[in-house]
Amino acid sequence: MSHEPPQNQSQKTLENEDDDTDILPRRRFLNLAGAGLLTIGFGSLAEGIVGGVSEPLNQQVETLIFKPHQLVPEFPLSAIEPEKLIVNSFRGTPAINPVSYRLTVDGNVNNPLSLSLQDLQILPLTSMVIRHVCVEGWAAIVQWGGVKLRDILAIAQPSSQAKYAYFYSADGYYESWDLDSVMHPQTMMAYQKNGQALTPENGAPLRLASPIKLGYKLSKWVTRIELTTELTSKRGYWEDLGYEWYAGL
């Protein structure tokens, strides 16, 4: 899932179809421990339950666990499940001319960018076969091809004060990530799926792809990336309606 609404808000975990083990043990642990463990073992973090803090509570907790340079195991090409990637929509599929398309990278950067699709395709191509996990309760193994987001930001040169990235999409969808997750080596801006050019329904010309976040964090049709020093009151379309902000796997 990226732009699509979860069909069942209570359905937060998902079983691994290959070995019947829970593929979200950390998230389940955090959900169970949130009320008790945080107040007992991490007193300062519990302050995040009350308003007035700059970071969502679950970011403060998951930052303690997240390893920004540790790779998530990938799958062989033979494991791809093309029929399992469900295409849902947020406000329909926007019409984007790939010739005139530009990705803007601005905000707290020293070198703002306006990149065409051709500019992006000149950068080193990276490919990964990962499991796309949706909060609705389904998953699909997909091959994504594109540019590591940290390679793009290396050109944009984030300022030392940058802590977050906002992703804005052509259909009005918006998301925000912590900068460590953005810079993870398996976070990419994808323009290929399963060895073929990305289709508009799947987010062409450019979408987020990563094995470290739930699907609703993986924005389609991205047209702008803005680096910021803090989060605003708008943190993400679904997050602003009550869903978890960090949404890490």
**Average pLDDT, consecutive stretches of 10 residues, N- to C-terminus, the chain (249 residues):** 50 33 42 35 33 52 68 95 83 93 98 98 97 92 98 98 97 95 97 96 97 96 98 94 90
- Per-residue pLDDT reduced to its tens digit, 46-84: 333 333 344 565 666 666 666 667 899 999 999 999 989
pLDDT at 9: 40
pLDDT at 13: 30
- What gap in Å lies between CA 176 and CA 202, rounded to an integer? 20
Distances (CA, A) of 208 to 78, 216, 222: 23, 10, 8
Q: Please give the single-letter amino acid code of residue 165.
A: A
- And the tokens for 55? 């970071």
- Per-residue pLDDT reduced to its tens digit, 121-130: 999 999 999 9
What architecture does CATH give domain 72-90+97-241? Alpha-Beta Complex (3.90)
Do 22 and 15 touch, CB atoms closer than 8 A?
yes
Q: Please give the single-letter amino acid code of residue 100.
A: S
